[in-house]
Amino acid sequence: MNNTTTDQIIGIRKNVLKKEFSRMNDRQQEAVFSVNGPLLILAGAGSGKTTVLVNRIANIIRYGNAYKSENISNDLSEEDLSAANRYLSAGEPLPFQVKCHFAAEPCRPWQILAITFTNKAAGELKNRLNSMLGEEGDDIWASTFHSTCARMLRRDGDKLGYSNHFTIYDTDDSRRMMKECQKSLGIDDKILSFKSILSAISRAKDSMIQPKEYLQQAGSDNRLGLIAQAYKLYQAKLKEADAMDFDDLICNTVCLLQQHPDVLEYYQNKFRYIMVDEYQDTNHAQYLLVKLLAQKSTNLCVVGDDDQSIYKFRGATIENILNFERTFPNAKVIRLEQNYRSTKNILNAANAVIENNTERKGKTLWTDNPAGEKIGVHTAFSEQDEADYIAKKILESVAVGRKFADHAILYRMNSQSNILEKIFIKSGIPYRIIGGLRFYERKEIRDMIAYLSVINNPNDEIRLRRIINQPKRSIGDKTIAQATEIAATLGESVFDIIKNADQYEPLKRTAPKLLQFAATMQELIDAANDENTSLNELYHLILDKTDYIGSLKASENDDAQDRIDNINELASNLIKYEEDNGEEASLSGFLEEVSLLTDIDNFDANSDSVVMMTIHSAKGLEFPVVFLPGFEDGIFPGIQAIYNPAEIEEERRLAYVAITRAKEELFIVNAESRMIFGSTSRNKPSRFIEEIPEELVARSRTREWKKPAPGMALPTSAFEARVVTTESARSFGPSNLIHSEPPKVQFQVGDGVMHKTFGTGLILSVSPMGNDTLLEIAFEKAGTKKLMANFARLQKI
DNA sequence: GCACCTATCTTTTTT
DNA sequence: AGATAGGTGC
């Protein structure tokens, strides 16, 4: 190092680093290299924030703080420097050694914590880290708030009085639990609903208010007093059941860290770098959690976009991001304003809409992308016509070479998917619905999960109740109530009481049934404890012993087969879980994974079908062509938001998210009249449409009155059958593409065909597209339709 | 204890 | 319109 000065070395090192991350723009690089101290990245939609996060983590692991540090490694040799210079000038690969020698205070993967909101975001982050860093990437804690907390609580939850295999209650479990509480406190649901109590409790937990404090704060307020009682009882019951709800995961972790300095210190030392994605969606408790963990290192990087804050209803406070600079002194702020996703027209429309909000940090996205098509704004007659229009547009678009999967339909509320679904079935457009009735929310799945939960944790009273008479065992509410009461008086668990049912007078009559149930469960518990029983075997043992499927078949329910399919689907999930986790696989592990899983996590872009979901679910995703139906005042913005300026702003942010999902084409649709709650209403076009400059818009409307959806007038049994197939297929799983094994029949113009719904018809035109064929068919009764050959289930005649 | 009927409510959005 | 919870009658 004789001839080279320190400054020169630092210069070379900076250039090497710059080159290593040269795929990033200047702002992004700045974010990647700003490693130490608090950092707020205001990342607009489509500005490449995940790329920045991934590269920032890679930089931290490989180089640490080298870009900003003035220190030079002692290991650095002349040889290293000339290698670096060759790398800079001739593009020769940089030896690993040199990378190491250039690093300053690098960090190990397991010292990094990256928190996201959805499993999907976490999964994507993990994937990209893995492809950038290889196996090293696996050791990074990249997960959601909830699973991060669950992990910490499994380790140290005993300090709060929970076991390490505690159950995670979802919304439905919480509801059942709260109904119990209402009953025992004599609270009439009409006067104080379980819903409002639960949301009050949720807010309390967000603010880290314990039942005791809640009661104090309630003062003489009757309503709040009742809520406080319910809160107290609810928490007591949860603890007794060794269970936590979603909010508990967060606030119990905060409690754990606040009350146990040793635990706090452990994690503060462990995590040298912390990153939080979607920071605008954090609530107060999550903010506290992050603050606690990052207090010591202060190496906290949060990424967010105040314009995309759409979870206020869930307790997210936009103040977290607006106040970041105040809370974390010396915070650096970096704005990422270049959008790589959308065309100029789409981006300008989004900018124009969001500008009408007053509560903003303020930023304007720009792009180098071409102007692209104008934004289609279409006015339809009815919601049917709206769906018809979208179907037609998609078929046109596929006809000129796009894939079905390039199209997404994003709506305000789940119920909007119904008509679309019907029209798509009719037109033979393959689609998938994300959200709505979720796989894990189906009765039969919940029942199976409940069995597994009780086996895992017999104290789980709520789930024990769920299955005690499912399938029917002639154990009624009264018996259960009595058993519960006895359990409460004796301070034992309900399961223990049932096991000895014959010893209690009030249970005498049903004792044999109870004993039999208890014996079955005990057998299953023993099987679960046996090392040699795999989860899959256990699952089939449950099905065997309970004859769940048998009773389903006996019920003669129309959807019995669907339900059986779902039950088998859960089995394949179990097998997959076991395969993925090998030795680590455990019943409680599976249950945890399941309870934190949502549908969007299973969104698989590989199958070629149109995607439908709510705008909320679509956050973080992008699609070449986006349709936004229901842009009407009263739908979007929703009726409840119209007279509330703050809520209008939230709705507008939602509109902003919706618009910015589109890469190339955007169609906004409204209907002049539509059915809501079974009655027809006429809505004005959404105010958000008016906020888009007219020069960006191409308007159209359905002119002549079309007979409302001819296909719908044919309620044949075949049509109904299709709907049922669709229902089961939309759930989730390895292939939740709506498909039937495509009959690969070749069609020609002039062929006569038979369609299940439309009857007989004649093929007018055949246009191959991708790996499918668009057919135009004149049906004898149903008129002329365009159908995709592979999905239409046509038979030649 | 169970099946069937009716009344009521829903539609915000999710971990 | 459709689902679901709760009540009534067997």
The pLDDT tens digits for A424-477 are 888 889 988 887 777 777 888 888 989 999 999 998 888 888 888 888 888 887
Task: Considering only residues 223-262 of chain A, list those whose CB is below 7 Å from strand B.
Answer: 246-247
The stretch A751-773 carries a mean pLDDT of 71
The closest alpha carbon to A240, from A174, A186, A166, A153, belongs to A166
Out of A80-84, A150-154, A736-740, least confident range? A736-740
pLDDT for res A268: 96
Higher local confidence (pLDDT), A84 or A555: A84
The pLDDT tens digits for A374-421 are 999 999 988 889 999 999 999 999 999 999 999 999 999 988 988 898
A470 touches strand B (CB under 7 A): no
The most confident of the ranges A92-101, A334-343, A612-621 is: A334-343
Residue A731 pLDDT greater than 60, yes or no? no
Q: Report whether A49 belongs to an annotated binding site.
A: yes
A477 touches strand C (CB under 7 A): no
Out of A55-59, A250-254, A428-432, least confident range? A428-432
A675 touches strand C (CB under 7 A): yes
Using the CA of A437, give the nucleotide whose C1' is nearest: C3
Alpha-carbon separation of residue A487 from A62, A508, A708 (angstroms):
58, 15, 59
Using the CA of A678, give the nucleotide whose C1' is nearest: C1
Choosing from A80, A173, A277, A664, the catalytic residue is A277
Residue A677 pLDDT greater than 80, yes or no? no
A96 touches strand C (CB under 7 A): no
Residue A49 annotated as catalytic: yes
The most confident of the ranges A495-509, A602-616, A718-732 is: A495-509
Gap from A677 CA to B9 C1', Å = 10
pLDDT for res A679: 79
Residue A793 annotated as catalytic: no
pLDDT for res A712: 39
Strand partners, A64: A104
Confidence of residue A640 (pLDDT cuts 50, 70, 90): confident
Choosing from A49, A393, A422, A466, the catalytic residue is A49
Residue A661 annotated as catalytic: yes
The pLDDT tens digits for A226-238 are 889 999 999 998 9
Choosing from A229, A268, A280, A308, the catalytic residue is A308
A677 touches strand C (CB under 7 A): yes
Gap from A409 CA to B15 C1', Å = 23
A724 touches strand C (CB under 7 A): no
Identify the residue whose Cα has the smallest distance to the C1' of B8: A190
Residue A278 annotated as catalytic: yes
Using the CA of A175, give the nucleotide whose C1' is nearest: C5
Instruction: End-to-end CA distance of chain A: give it in Å, rounded.
Output: 86
In this prediction, what percent of chain A has a pLDDT beyond 70?
Answer: 90
Structural tokens at position A553 = 């078949």
Confidence of residue A105 (pLDDT cuts 50, 70, 90): confident
Gap from A453 CA to B3 C1', Å = 30
Helix (H, G, I), strand (E, B) or coil at A208: coil
Helix (H) or strand (E) holding A717: helix A717-729
Out of A169-183, A540-554, A586-600, A777-791, least confident range? A777-791
Q: Report whether A121 belongs to an annotated binding site.
A: no
Choosing from A18, A50, A189, A314, the catalytic residue is A50
Residue A50 annotated as catalytic: yes
Choosing from A180, A278, A632, A633, the catalytic residue is A278
A766: how many CB neighbours lie within 10 A of its CB?
Answer: 17
Choosing from A432, A446, A661, A793, the catalytic residue is A661
Task: Measure the CA–CA gap between A345 and A696, rounded to whole angstroms.
Answer: 6
Q: Report whether A709 belongs to an annotated binding site.
A: no
Helix (H, G, I), strand (E, B) or coil at A589: helix
pLDDT for res A599: 66
Segments of A236-392 assigned E as strands = 243-245, 273-276, 300-304, 332-336, 375-380
Residue A165 burial (C-beta neighbours within 10 Å; 0-12, 13-18, 19+): middle
pLDDT for res A295: 92
Asked if omega into A506 is within 30° of 0 (cis), the reply is: no
Residue A515 pLDDT greater than 50, yes or no? yes
pLDDT for res A611: 92
Helix (H, G, I), strand (E, B) or coil at A615: helix
Chain B, protein-covered positions (CB within 7 A): 1-3, 10-15
- Contact of A709 with A392, CB cutoff 8 Å: no
A508 touches strand B (CB under 7 A): no
Residue A277 annotated as catalytic: yes
A189 touches strand C (CB under 7 A): yes
Structural tokens at position A257 = 């860290």
Residue A152 pLDDT greater than 90, yes or no? yes
The pLDDT tens digits for A268-305 are 999 999 999 999 999 999 999 999 999 999 999 999 99
Crossing angle of the two packed helices A211-218 and A222-240, in degrees rounded to 10: 170
Task: Considering only residues 758-777 of chain A, list those whose CB is below 7 Å from strand B.
Answer: none
Residue A779 burial (C-beta neighbours within 10 Å; 0-12, 13-18, 19+): buried
The stretch A325-340 carries a mean pLDDT of 92
Gap from A532 CA to B12 C1', Å = 47
The stretch A10-27 carries a mean pLDDT of 88
Q: Report whether A50 belongs to an annotated binding site.
A: yes
Question: For chain A, what is the mean pLDDT?
Answer: 85
The pLDDT tens digits for A654-668 are 999 999 999 999 999
Using the CA of A475, give the nucleotide whose C1' is nearest: B1
Using the CA of A675, give the nucleotide whose C1' is nearest: C1
Task: Measure the CA–CA gap between A24 and A778, rounded to whole angstroms.
Answer: 54
Alpha-carbon separation of residue A611 from A252, A560, A606, A726, A739 (angstroms):
37, 27, 11, 14, 14
A600 touches strand B (CB under 7 A): yes
Q: Report whether A350 belongs to an annotated binding site.
A: no
pTM of the model: 0.82
Task: Measure the CA–CA gap between A171 and A209, rounded to whole angstroms.
Answer: 20
